[in-house]
Amino acid sequence: MILAHLSQVAPHVSNLALYFQDQQVGFSVVDLWHNMGILAKCVVFLLLIMSVWSLAVMIDRALYFSAARKQSREFAPRVAGALKEGRLDEAIKVADRNKKSHLAEVVTAGLQEFRNYGSGGTVTEEQVEASQRALERSEAIVHAKLKRGLGGLATIGSTAPFIGLFGTVVGILNAFNQIATQKTSGIGAVAGGISEALVTTAFGLFVAIPAVMAFNYFTNRVEAFDVEMDNSSSELVDYFLKQGARR
C-alpha cells in the first residue's frame, strides 16, 4: 500500500524538482544582461554614457582646479613684491607666466588696463575706474571657465535616478507580461523583468550619487576661487588709488 502511494507521488516530486531546476536564475553580470530587454539595455547604455561623461568632467575639473591653486600660490607673493617695488611691467610678466592661475588672469587684465589707459604720471579717477571694469570683466570670464562642465554634472545627478526609475518601470511591466504570457508566476517567468528593474535602478543611483557629490564639491571650490578673485581685485584697486595719492 505504501509502495503504491510512493509510486504515485514520485512523478510529482520529479516534476517539482524539474520545475525548480528550470526556475534557477543567474545573477551574474552576463546573465543579467542577457535577461534584459532591448529597451532596458538602451537605458543602461544611456546611463553608461552619462557615467563616462561625468567622470571626464570630474577629472578635468580636478586637474584644472589643482593647477589653478598651485600657480596662484606661487603667483600671489611674486606679484605682490613686484607691485610693492613699483615694477608694474614685472608684475605683468609674472602673471603671464602663470596662465592657469585664476588670480593671475584677473590681475593681468587690471594691470594691463591700468598701464595702457594713459602714459601720464598722474593717476586719474577714470584710469582707476577703467581698470576696475577690466577686473570685473575678467572675473566674469574666469568664473565661467571655472564652472565649465558643472552644469552637466548637475543635470546628470538630477536625471540619472529618473532614467533608472524608467528602466525599473519597464522591467516590472516586462515581468507582468511574462506572467501573462506563460500563465505562471514562478521565478523563471519574472526573472527577466526583475533583473531589468534591479540593474537599471542600481545603475541609475551609481551614476547619480557621485555626480551630485562632485557637483557640490566643485561648486564650493568655485565659490572659494570667486572670493579670492574679489579680494585680489579689491586689493589691486586700492593699490591704484594709493599710487594716485602718492603722485
pLDDT digits (tens, 9 = 90+) for 10-55: 444 344 343 334 444 555 556 666 666 787 788 888 999 999 999 9
Which residue pairs, CB below 8 angstroms and at least 24 apart, start in 83-87?
Answer: 83/239
Segment 84-101, tens digit of pLDDT: 777 777 888 887 788 788
Q: Does any domain span residue 106?
A: yes
Q: Which domain holds residue 175?
A: 27-246
Q: Does any domain span residue 132?
A: yes
Average pLDDT taken over every residue of the chain:
78
Predicted TM-score of the model (pTM): 0.77
Q: Based on the number of CB atoms within 10 Å of its own CB, is 216 exposed (0-12), middle (13-18) or buried (19 or more)? A: middle
Span of 92-106, 110-124, 163-177 with lowest mean pLDDT? 110-124
Which pLDDT does position 77 carry in this prediction? 83
Which pLDDT does position 6 carry in this prediction? 32
Average pLDDT, stretch 197-217?
A: 90
* DSSP letter assigned to residue 135: H
Nearest to 171 by CA among 190, 197, 191, 189: 197
- Check pLDDT > 60 for residue 9: no
Average pLDDT, stretch 52-65?
A: 95
Q: Does any domain span residue 134?
A: yes
Segment 117-156, tens digit of pLDDT: 755 556 677 888 888 898 999 999 999 999 999 999 999 9
Which pLDDT does position 18 carry in this prediction? 39
Q: Does any domain span residue 3?
A: no
Span of 8-17, 109-118, 172-181, 212-221 with lowest mean pLDDT? 8-17
Q: Does any domain span residue 20?
A: no
Q: How many domains does the chain have?
A: 1
Which residue pairs, CB below 8 angstroms and at least 24 apart, start in 136-144?
Answer: 136/233, 137/109, 138/105, 138/106, 138/108, 138/109, 138/110, 139/106, 139/226, 139/229, 139/230, 139/233, 141/105, 142/102, 142/105, 142/106, 142/225, 142/229, 143/222, 143/225, 143/226, 143/229
Q: Does any domain span residue 206?
A: yes
Angle at which helix 38-84 crosses helix 150-182, to 10 degrees, equals 170
Q: Does any domain span residue 15?
A: no
Query: How far does CA 81 lie from the centroid of its chain?
Result: 38
Q: Does any domain span residue 7?
A: no
